[in-house]
Amino acid sequence: DFGKVDLRVARIVAAEHVPEAKKLLKLTVSLGGEARRTVFAGIKAYYKPEDLIGRLVIVCANLAPRKMKFGLSEGMVLAAGDETVHLLSPDSGAKPGMRVH
Q: Are 10 and 60 in contact (CB under 8 A)?
A: no
CATH number, domain at 61? 2.40.50.140
What values do phi and psi take at 71, rounded to 5? Answer: 145, -170
Query: Is 59 a member of any domain?
Result: yes
Amino acid type, 11 = R
Query: Is 79 a member of any domain?
Result: yes
Query: Is 101 a member of any domain?
Result: no
What is the tally of structural domains in the chain? 1
- DSSP string of 46-92, one letter each residue: T--HHHHTT-EEEEE--SPPEEETTEEE--EE-EE-SSS-EE--PPT
| pTM score of the predicted model | 0.93
Q: Span 74-91, mean pLDDT?
A: 96
Structural domain range at position 83: 2-87
Determine the pLDDT at residue 45.
96
Determine the pLDDT at residue 35.
86
Query: Is 12 a member of any domain?
Result: yes
pLDDT tens digits, one per residue of 1-52: 788 899 999 999 999 999 999 999 999 999 998 989 999 999 999 999 999 9
